[in-house]
Homo-oligomer: A and B are copies of this chain.
Amino acid sequence: MKLTILGCYAATPRTLTNPTAQLIEIKNRLFLIDCGEGTQVQLRKNKIKFSKINQIFISHLHGDHFYGLIGLISTFSLLNRNNDLHIFGPKGIKEIILLQLKLSNSWPNFGLFFHELTSNQSEVIFEDDKVLVKTIPLKHRVYTNGFLFEEKLDQRKLNIEAVQKYQIEKCYYQNIKNGKDILLDNGTLVSNNELTFDPEKPKSYAFCSDTAYNEAIIPIIENVDILYHEATFLQSEANLAAKTMHSTAKEAATIAQKAQVKQLVLGHYSTRYDAISLFKEEAETIFPNVLLADDGESFEL
């Protein structure tokens, strides 16, 4: 699992900072989360293959989280993309994109599917054989969801020495990986435990931006490996955070601590502060494992 930050600053794109967009790579699948203006250029700078992105998740319809989407879709078209593209986001996103494609008379030559979200309850919105994605309903000025990405449990790992010792034929291997016990020709039942190792523990990633401090998300994100939580402000601007329905670094850390996550990654910084290290310092007074997102940074699990 690898998280790549394309942009993690609040409000507007600037010369050296980009609005929200990030990639989470899970078992060779690449999911784009949010798509602020300039995301396609950030993808190029980070040498990401455009054709590997097949799902885009948009948290909410504030410009710094989706104004780059129409440009990215248009560029996919110019690059003669073939793969279907699935877009998950608040109701309204389909109308915004289709209106612009219609008026520019540039209908994409690939399948473009919208999955509009309206629920205020966490729900599964994407699932394949490797990954499950659920919404995390957030509290912000407009309808907003975070996203929880969960690896699925892999099949069990074959203990090659053991299966060779019992001279088990290859055609049984898949059954063993699926957890079945094996009855040998001599009538002995060999338990699956003897023939396999546990698979790797599935990893999980929770993206929570933008949101006011909201303890309701804790049961959804409990024990995740990485929590990305917005920290637009420091505690000294707690009044601004409350007014704009954003979080402070301390509040983000409090959520991380209460949800017992393994690692907190902060982002969505207001550009009013001199150094983003201030966010880490404040969060670490509450929760020990704090990392700072920054444009172009990657975090590997």
Contact = CB atoms under 8 A, between A and B. Distances in A.
Given A68-B37, A71-B37, A15 B105 contact: no
Contacts of A67: 67, 70-71, 74
Contacts of A104: 61-63, 142
Interface in A54-87: 61-63, 67-68, 70-71, 74-75, 78
15 contacts: A11-B78, A12-B78, A13-B38, A13-B40, A14-B41, A14-B44, A37-B40, A37-B68, A37-B71, A63-B71, A63-B106, A92-B103, A96-B100, A99-B99, A104-B142
A13 B99 contact: no
A74 B63 contact: yes
A-B CB proximity, top 6 nearest: A92-B103, A63-B74, A37-B71, A12-B75, A61-B103, A67-B71
A95 interface: yes
A176 to B, nearest CB: 49
User: Chain A, interface size: which category?
Assistant: 20 to 34
B92 A12 contact: no
Nearest to A79: B12
Contacts of A70: 63, 67
Nearest to A92: B103
A71 B41 contact: no
Most chain B CB atoms below 10 A, which of A11, A37, A71: A37
A243 interface: no
Given A92-B103, A100-B63, A74 B41 contact: no
A40 B142 CA distance: 24
A45 interface: yes
A102 to B, nearest CB: 8
A130 interface: no
A15 B37 contact: no
A166 B211 CA distance: 75
Nearest to A63: B74
A12 B75 CA distance: 6
Contacts of A15: 41, 44-45
A41 B12 CA distance: 9
Contacts of A63: 70-71, 74, 100, 104, 106
B106 A74 contact: no
A105 B14 contact: no
A141 interface: yes
A146 to B, nearest CB: 18
A49 to B, nearest CB: 15
A95 B38 CA distance: 23
Contacts of A41: 13-15, 38
Contacts of A95: 99, 103
Interface in A131-183: 141-142
A105 B62 CA distance: 8
